[in-house]
Structure 1
Amino acid sequence: MILDFFLVSLGPVIYNKALDDAKRWFDKRFEDIEADYYSLYKE
C-alpha cells in the first residue's frame, strides 16, 4: 500500500524529471554534432 502511494504520487514527478534530463542530454549532443558538421567546411 505504501509502495502504491509512492508510485502514484512520485511516479509522474520522477518520470518527468527523467524526460527533462534526457532532453538536456540530447540537446547537448546535437549541439556537438552541429559544431562538428560545420567544422568540416573548408575556407
Structure 2
Amino acid sequence: MNLFTPYIPLISDSWTEKYQAILAEEHLQAVEKNISKFQDNTLE
C-alpha cells in the first residue's frame, strides 16, 4: 500500500529528526492499515 513512503523525502530534515519515530516503517504500516480499515468501515 505504501501511502506515505513517496512523501517522506518532502519532509524537512528538522521535522524528520524531531519526529523520527512517526516515520518508522512499523508506524507507517499501522497508519496505512488503520486508513484501510476506516475506508472499509471496519474500525474497531
Report if TM-score (shorter chain) is over 0.5: no
Structure of larger gyration radius: 1
Higher RCO (C-alpha 8 Å, min separation 6): 2
> TM class, shorter-chain normalised?
0.3 to 0.5
Flag the structure with higher helix content: 1
